[in-house]
Amino acid sequence: MTAARDLQLDTACPDTRALVEHVTSKWGVLVLLALRDRTMRWSELKREIAGVSEKMLIQSLQTLEADGLVLRTARPVVPPHVDYSLTDAGHEAVDLLAPLVFWAQQQVQG
C-alpha cells in the first residue's frame, strides 16, 4: 500500500490530474457507465444518456478514446455506422469509478 504522502505529491502531476478529470467529468462518467456492459452506437449513446448535447457526447468520446479507455470502430457504410466500446483500461476505470459514484448517491439520498 502506497503511503498517502506519496500519492499527494504525485497527484500534482498534470497528466494524472487530467485523466482523473476526464473519467470523473460530467459526461465522461455517464459514457463509461453506459458502455460498461455492452458496445453501443453513437445514436444509442445519445438516446441512452439523457440531456447530453451532440457536441459534448462527441467531445467526451474523443477524449476517452485519446486516453485509451474507449474504442471507436467506424464502418464506412451509408448511413454511417460507428460502434463504441470499452478497452481493458476502460473497464478498469469504470470498475474503480462505479463504487465512488454509488457511494456519493447513497450519501446524497441518506
Partner DNA sequence: TGGGGTACCCACCTCGGGGTGAGTAGCATC
Partner DNA sequence: GATGCTACTCACCCCGAGGTGGGTACCCCA
Nearest residue (CB) to a copy of itself, 24 versus 85 = 24
Q: What whole-number distance in Å separates Cα of residue 1 and Cα of residue 28? A: 28
**How far is it, in rounded angstroms, from Cα 24 to Cα 63?**
12
Q: What is the dihedral angle through the alpha carbons of 38, 16, 98, 54, rounded to the nearest 10 degrees?
A: -50
Which of 14, 51, 99, 110 lies at the binding interface for DNA (CB under 7 A)? 51
Nearest residue to 37 via CA among 94, 96, 81, 75: 94
Record the cell numbers describing residue 76, joined without a space. Answer: 464506412
Question: Is 62 a residue that touches DNA (CB under 7 A)?
Answer: yes
With CB under 5 to 8 Å by kind, the binding choice for 74 among a copy of itself, DNA, none is: DNA
Contact status: 50 vs DNA (CB under 7 A):
no
- Tell whether residue 53 is a contact of DNA (CB under 7 A): yes
- Contact footprint for a copy of itself (CB under 8 A): 2, 4, 7-13, 15-17, 19-21, 23-24, 26, 29-30, 33-34, 36-37, 48-51, 67-68, 89, 92-93, 96-105, 107-108
